[in-house]
């Protein structure tokens, strides 16, 4: 399992500069998907984000695997750019439909509650 790099030490300004150098991908992401405040996520998503920041251990063997972006809803990047993690669904006997998909940019985390039919970029500042 490969854990995606998190550029937390650089902060938001460096992330914005890197995004602009890449060609404005963050702008495309925020217009192609919705957004959600961190505080509005289900508690299980907070747990998953904490596990990602700690590097695990993850409850499902698929967690941390490369997300292929076959739906083409998220901005296009090379293979390996995105990784997916399960957000537990209370009462579900399977992994359920909820996921966090991380990109390699600072705080580039997406939440989906409908198994990739839609995504919300997580705003970590609210």
Catalytic residues: 84, 115
E-strand stretches of the chain:
34-37, 65-66, 83-86, 99-102, 109-112, 120-123
Paired residues of 121 in beta bridges: 35, 110
Q: Name the residue with tokens 């993690």.
A: 85
Paired residues of 86 in beta bridges: 99
Q: 85 near 58, Cβ under 8 Å? A: yes
Q: Which tokens go with 57? A: 């251990």
Q: Residue 1, Cα to own-chain centre: how many angstroms?
A: 16
CA atoms of 35 and 22, how far apart (whole Å): 21
């Amino acid at each position: 399992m490969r854990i995606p790099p998190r550029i937390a030490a650089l902060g938001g300004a460096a992330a914005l500069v890197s995004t602009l150098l890449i060609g404005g991908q963050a702008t495309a992401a925020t217009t192609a998907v919705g957004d959600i405040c961190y505080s509005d996520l289900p508690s299980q998503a907070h747990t998953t984000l904490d596990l990602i920041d700690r590097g695990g251990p993850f409850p499902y063997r698929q967690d941390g695997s490369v997300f292929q972006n076959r739906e083409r809803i998220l901005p296009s990047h090379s293979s390996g750019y995105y990784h997916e993690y399960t957000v537990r669904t209370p009462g579900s006997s399977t992994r359920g439909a909820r996921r966090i998909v991380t990109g390699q940019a600072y705080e580039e985390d997406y939440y989906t509650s409908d198994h990739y039919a839609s995504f919300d970029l997580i705003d970590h500042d609210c």
